Amino acid sequence: MHILIPADDIQRRVREMAAEIERDHPDGVHMIAVLKGAFVFLSDLARAMPGRCSLDFMAVSSYGTSTRSSGQVQLLKDLDSGLEGRDVVIVEDIVDTGLTLAYMQQILRARSPRHLRTACLLSKPSRRQVDVAVDYTGFEIEDQFVVGYGLDYAEQYRNLPHIAVLD
Ligand code: 5GP
């Protein structure tokens, strides 16, 4: 395993993203994190935003224990509250094929938020299978499997403060 993005770089970029999100949401923001991978990103992002901010969580099916996407998305846990008229930001760990995010955006848009935007810490543009809008991107990376800062391999490594590549 080697470090791809050091913890300090992540912290700096997350603070920049938090400032951008706050600037775009002067009336406050409702942030929806996609479990489990986005929990660390959400936690740092939310703490860098001193303004009005509420949180909710969703869980969708993901990679399981392999490093390849199944391409199938399933809703495992829904939100606790409705979105009508609210300024919503989806908080995702990583956009790979884009299938998960496209699914999330589709079902959340149907709940009539005032705005629906998306913040992703990492993006692998070369892997994209569907064209999906991401308003705030932390880092673009190559096509490689990464762990740390919430991201796992077989439920391990989520606790690392940096992003690492499994060799
Ligand atoms: P997509 O639907 O865009 O192909 O995949 C999105 C989900 O796949 C992410 O939320 C994440 O759970 C998982 N994923 C994609 N790439 C990686 C990666 O490099 N490392 C890890 N740990 N998970 C990934």
Provide the residue-wise pLDDT of the chain in tens; the chain has 167 residues. Answer: 999 999 999 999 999 999 999 999 999 999 999 999 999 999 999 999 999 999 999 998 765 445 555 556 788 999 999 999 999 999 999 999 999 999 899 999 999 999 999 999 999 999 999 999 999 999 999 999 999 999 999 999 999 999 999 88
pLDDT of residue 64: 47
pLDDT of residue 70: 57
Taking CA atoms only, the protein residue closest to ligand 1 atom 12 is 62
Does residue 95's CB lie within 6 angstroms of at least one atom of ligand 1?
Answer: yes
The residue segments making up the domain with residue 115 are 2-165
141: buried, middle or exposed (CB in 10 Å: 19+, 13-18, 0-12)?
buried
Does residue 96's CB lie within 6 angstroms of at least one atom of ligand 1?
Answer: yes
User: Helices 39-47 and 7-24 sit at what angle, rounded to 10 degrees?
Assistant: 60
Q: Check if the beta carbon of residue 29 is closer than 8 Å to that of residue 87.
A: yes
Q: Residue 159 sits in a domain of what CATH number?
A: 3.40.50.2020
Q: Check if the beta carbon of residue 94 is closer than 8 Å to that of residue 67.
A: no
Number of structural domains, the chain? 1
**Counting atoms of ligand 1 from 1, which one is nearest the CA of 141?**
19
Taking CA atoms only, the protein residue closest to ligand 1 atom 19 is 145
Taking CA atoms only, the protein residue closest to ligand 1 atom 15 is 96
Map tokens 């690492």 to a residue: 164
Taking CA atoms only, the protein residue closest to ligand 1 atom 11 is 94
24: buried, middle or exposed (CB in 10 Å: 19+, 13-18, 0-12)?
middle
CA of 151 to the centre of ligand 1 (A): 8
First vs last C-alpha separation in the chain = 5
Does residue 36's CB lie within 6 angstroms of at least one atom of ligand 1?
Answer: no
pLDDT of residue 66: 52
pLDDT of residue 65: 46
CA of 162 to the centre of ligand 1 (A): 16
For residue 79, give the amino acid letter: L
Q: Which one-letter DSSP state was computed for residue 153?
A: B
Nearest residue to 101 via CA among 133, 125, 69, 139 = 133
